[in-house]
Amino acid sequence: MSVKQKTSYIKTDDKAELYYEVHGTSGPVLVFSNGLACPINHWHNQIEHFSKNFRVLAYDLRGHHKSSRGLLKKITMDLLAHDLLKILDTAFPNESSALFFGHSYGVPISLKLAALAPEKCKALVLVNGFYKNPFSEVLDEKQIIDAVEAFKVFSLSAPRLTKWIWKNGVDSSFFRKTTGCLGGFNPERMPVKDMEIYSKAVASIDLQSFLNHFKALIRFNFSADSALVKCPTLIVHGERDQIIQESQNIELAEMIENSFYQKLSEGSHCTPLDVPVKLNKVIEDFIETRVIS
């Protein structure tokens, strides 16, 4: 198991307290960004592996788990990227750059950071992510936002009922089985313990905070900024992922000039937990041949 060298919080201007932890004692800095509602545990196999030769920074997004959401109600990728930059500068004040890893929702956060502060970004590793509304083939942005706003109104009118439904519906075997069937994870590969940690983590998220993040997800579109990413970029897609279409990752690889695309068999949307050995090897090869060589 990886040994945490440090756990701490930073405070933002809008009074959010953001939790982070550092693993490892030497080497380049790797920064891990989580998916929507996901805990740091989603990266635990990579943190344990890479902290042997790198310093690893993991953190909770605002409004997630040990991080508070602050006073700002509107969430944007710009805000989340600046949160991450502030955490990085606090944890490693003497480091000029780092390698940024993003999974799912962590991918647009990492992309936005690479566009806002290219000098900070030595390389990107983007796993099962997206660069625009991942549900646009089903509903357009306005339809989804309208549905989210309607649900927010309902949840505020019946907060106790909504909270009970959210907590008990998500933290359940039914949710875990359904998520597996939908390609959220590979039940043949992902440990049951990690499935349970995930569902409990999602159930613990404040619903209003979750919905605000979800709106940021829907509104994000990186097409116009893709040319700003100049660093080596590894894009990974799990072949069993049915949450994010492979076309999103292929298109992103085509848009970023210095990118490398890798598809992993048996990986679902939660590739870091499904096939950690395969993923770690692909990342190691990328770092050795494209970043440090």
Tens of pLDDT, residue by residue over 109-128, are 999 999 999 999 999 999 99
Mean predicted confidence (pLDDT) in 90-116: 97
How much is the mean pLDDT over the chain? Answer: 94
Mean predicted confidence (pLDDT) in 270-290: 97
In CATH terms, the fold of domain 4-291 is Rossmann fold (3.40.50)
Question: Which among 174, 177, 183, 175 has a CA at the least distance from the CA of 266?
Answer: 183
Give the pLDDT of residue 274.
96
Give the pLDDT of residue 139.
76
Give the pLDDT of residue 130.
97
* Cβ proximity of 16 and 62 under 8 Å: yes
Cα dist from 143 to 99, 131, 137, 247, 264, whole Å: 36, 19, 12, 22, 33
d(CA 217, CA 206): 17
Mean predicted confidence (pLDDT) in 207-229: 95
Give the pLDDT of residue 293.
67
